Amino acid sequence: MTIGEARAFWVVAPGSGEIRGEALPQPATGEAVVRTRFSAVSRGTEALVFRGEVPPGEAARMRAPFQAGEFPAPVKYGYVSVGVVDAGPPPLAGRTVFCLHPHQTRYVVPAAALHVVPDEVPAARAVLAASMETAVNALWDGAPRVGDRIAVVGGGVVGCLVAWLTGRMPGCRVELIDVNPARAAVAAELGVAFALPGAATPDADLVFHASGAPEGLATALALAAFEATIVELSWYGRQAVAAPLGEAFHSQRLTLRASQVGAVATHQRARWSHRRRMALALALLAHPRLDALITGEGRFDDLPEVMVRLARGAGATLCHRICYD
């Protein structure tokens, strides 16, 4: 038995997508019906999926919670959805929620998969929740300390959020580094310094790399001080990356550490669940300055064309929000 039809975005072939209709099942006990208001496109992982660049060996680990289909295509993929609960358990009815769901107008999911958006966080800003969760996990992995000199290489959404979080720590001097000079205005809005790669401040106590480019990783390694840690947030898909581990890497006794949001950071794992971490990420979105990271917006019906543009690397776009209302 169904309760009507929804419309969803599917990658139908590498580099090509379309909107498809699908029947909504009758919700079972403990499930909720969500009407989507906003979603957002992940410029990193989602662009790799759209281009068909998920390595076969990573296909199982890269599955989104409510993904349909298989890589490379056809596949319904995405993990940023903000909507309103139209039907479900009484505590959730009418609430604005975040869900790790693909781009779809309405959907039925277990109520346990929904995260209530705090009243002080606008629904339109809550699309940053998944990126904020990634940034929180990165700080846990990097363990910045009061007074650290911190370099963040890559001014995408995750990099900007890492810079914003570390910039609020007492005594920390944070520099956001990007090849795009337009990121200087974003850095200023977030209250951190900015530099182009060639002018970045050396001898950082901690470096976060989030550019998604091998050249960015080389910059991150070059900026690290003696016995510093470089936290690698980029995921390259099938791209082979030649990390420059010669030169000063060994003499500087550097640590290159991977950070990935799929698992809670090691030192927090005994006490923090994924759900508690997401609640923290949502609460951190209360600050209005974070609206500076949403630099594009479009309609759900235009998503097939928007994805083509974003997957090709659409200029200065940071978070591109999709509107359903």
Please say if the pLDDT value at position 316 is more than 80. Answer: no
Assess whether pLDDT exceeds 60 at residue 196.
Answer: yes
Q: What is the pLDDT of residues 49-86, one digit of tens each?
A: 999 999 898 888 889 999 999 999 999 999 999 999 99
Residue 47 corresponds to which amino acid?
A
- Kindly give, in sequence order, each residue whose CB lies less than 8 Å from that of residue 68, ignoring residues fewer than 6 positions away: 75, 76, 102
Q: What is the pLDDT of residues 27-56, one digit of tens each?
A: 999 999 999 999 999 877 898 899 999 989
- Chain Cα centroid distance, residue 130: 5
Angle subtended at Cα 226 by Cα 225 and Cα 231, rounded to the nearest 5 degrees: 60
Domain ranges in the chain are 2-116+287-323, 133-268
Distance in angstroms (rounded) separating the CA atoms of residues 263 and 173 = 28
Task: Quickly state the pLDDT bin for 314 (edges 50, 70, 90).
Answer: low
CA distance 99 to 83: 8
CB atoms within 10 A of CB 242: 8
What is the structure's pLDDT at 113?
A: 98
Assign 138 a pLDDT band (cuts: 50, 70, 90). very high
CA 172, 178, 184, 186 dihedral sign is negative
What's the rounded Cα separation, in Å, for the pair 277 and 9? 28
Query: Residue 194 in 3-state DSSP?
Result: strand
Q: What is the pLDDT of residues 78-108, one digit of tens each?
A: 999 999 999 999 999 999 999 999 999 999 9
pLDDT at 246: 78
- The mean pLDDT value of the chain amounts to 95
Neighbours of 181 (CB within 10 A): 11
What topology is assigned to 2-116+287-323 in CATH? Quinone Oxidoreductase; Chain A, domain 1 (3.90.180)
Find the mean pLDDT for residues 167-194: 97
Mean pLDDT computed over 308-320 = 82
Output the six-digit token pair for 286.
Answer: 């209360």
Q: Identify the three-state secondary structure at position 105.
A: coil
Topology of the domain covering 133-268: Rossmann fold (3.40.50)
| pTM given for the model | 0.94
Q: Is the pLDDT of residue 215 over 80?
A: yes
How many beta carbons lie within 10 A of that of residue 184, not counting itself?
16
Of 153, 178, 182, 165, the closest CA to residue 128 belongs to 165
Give the helix ranges, DSSP H, for 197-270: 214-223
Return the structure tokens found at 69. 């289909």
Q: Which of 291, 195, 320, 127 is nearest to 187 (CA)?
A: 195
